Amino acid sequence: MPKVMCLAIPMRIVSIEGDEAEAELGEVVRRVSIALTPEVKVGEYVLLHTGYAIGVIDETEAKETLTLLEEIASFSEVS
């Protein structure tokens, strides 16, 4: 059976309205569900997977993860 990997991307919450929020990463802004992370506050980072914030993470961890994702992307550009 093939192994499947899911990817969650860190995004910063910029506004909250009920159980939805606007999250940004650079110039990309998305409307996301925070039903699974009701404790999140504006300015905090979440891990976003398929439109759902699945966990709240600290800024340091978010930035380290984004740096690693950029490095991975740069490898595919070289090929």
Measured torsion, CA atoms of residues 8, 54, 40, 62, in degrees rounded to the nearest 10: -20
* CATH of region 9-78: 2.30.30.140
The pLDDT tens digits for 41-77 are 999 999 999 999 999 999 999 999 999 988 888 887 6
The pLDDT tens digits for 2-21 are 676 678 999 999 999 999 99
The domain locations on the chain are 9-78
Are the CB atoms for 23 and 14 separated by under 8 Å? Answer: yes
pTM score, two decimals?
0.84
